[in-house]
Amino acid sequence: MSGIKYFKKIISKTQPKTSLNKIFKYKSSIQKVKFGVKSVNISELKKTANKIRKHIIRMTTEAGSGHPGGSLSSTEIITALYFHILRQNPKDPEWDNRDRFILSAGHLCPVLYAAMAEAGYFPISELSTLRKMGARLQGHPSRLNLPGIETSTGSLGQGFCVAIGMALAGKMDNKEYTVYCLMGDGEQDEGSIWEGAMFASHHKLENLCAIIDYNGLQQDGKHEEIIKLEPLKKKYEAFGWFVIDVDGHDFAQLISAMEEAKTIKDKPVVIIARTIMGKGVSFMENDYQWHGKALSKELAEKALAELGENNA
Ligand SMILES: Cc1ncc(C[n+]2csc(CCOP(=O)(O)OP(=O)(O)O)c2C)c(N)n1
Ligand SMILES: [Mg+2]
The pLDDT of residue 291 is: 98
What's the pLDDT at 37? 54
**Count of domains observed in the chain:** 1
Q: Which residues pair with 273 in a beta bridge?
A: 213, 246
Single pTM value for the model: 0.89
Q: Which ligand is nearest to the CA of 216?
A: 2
Ion ligand 2, residues whose Cβ is below 5 A away: 184-186, 215, 217-218
User: Which residue's C-alpha comes closest to atom 19 of ligand 1?
Assistant: 218
Identify the pLDDT of residue 2.
37
Closest ligand relative to 183 C-alpha: 1
- Nearest residue by C-alpha to atom 16 in ligand 1: 186
Backbone CA torsion sign across 75, 227, 181, 205? positive
| Å from CA of 103 to ligand 2 middle | 14
Residue pair 195/253 in contact by the 8 Å Cβ criterion: no
Separation between Cα atoms, residue 6 and residue 11, nearest integer Å: 9
| Nearest-CA residue for atom 23 of ligand 1 | 219
Total Cβ atoms within 10 A of residue 171 = 16
pLDDT at 204: 98
* Cα 17 to ligand 1 centroid, rounded to whole Å: 40
CATH code, 168: 3.40.50.970
Query: Would you say residue 181 lies in a domain?
Result: yes
The reported pLDDT for the residue numbered 9 is 39
For 181, residues 6+ apart whose C-beta sits below 8 A from its C-beta are 101, 102, 103, 104, 159, 160, 163, 208, 209, 210, 211
The verdict on whether omega for the bond into residue 231 sits within 30 degrees of 0, i.e. cis, is yes
Q: Evaluate whether residue 23 is within a structural domain.
A: no
Beta bridge partners of 213: 184, 273
Residues with CB under 6 A from ligand 1: 67, 69-70, 105, 107, 154-157, 184-187, 215, 217-219, 277, 291
158 Cα to the center of ligand 1, angstroms: 12
The C-alpha atoms of residue 212 and residue 223 are separated, in whole angstroms, by 14
Q: Which atom of ligand 1 is nearest to the CA of 185?
A: 16
In a domain, residue 56? The reply is yes
Q: What is the 3-state secondary structure (H, E, C) of 235-255?
A: HHHHCCCEEEEEECCCHHHHH
Per-residue pLDDT for the chain (312 aa), expressed as one digit of tens each? 333 343 343 333 333 333 333 333 333 333 344 444 568 899 999 999 999 999 999 999 999 999 999 999 999 999 999 999 999 999 999 999 999 999 999 999 999 999 999 999 999 999 999 999 999 999 999 999 999 999 999 999 999 999 999 999 999 999 999 999 999 999 999 999 999 999 999 999 999 999 999 999 999 999 989 999 999 999 999 999 999 999 999 999 999 999 999 999 999 999 999 999 999 999 999 999 999 999 999 999 999 999 995 444
pLDDT of 40 reads 87
The answer to whether residue 17 sits within a structural domain is no
Residue 16 lies in a domain: no
**pLDDT at position 24, please?**
33
Amino acid 195: pLDDT: 98
Atom of ligand 1 nearest to the CA of 157: 1
- pLDDT for the residue 286: 98
In this structure, is residue 274 part of a structural domain?
Answer: yes
169 in a domain, yes or no? yes
Q: Which domain holds residue 177?
A: 40-309
Query: Which ligand has the minimum distance to the alpha carbon of residue 189?
Result: 1
Task: Identify which ligand lies nearest to the alpha carbon of 69.
Answer: 1
Residue 191 in domain: yes
Closest CA to 101 of 210, 1, 26: 210
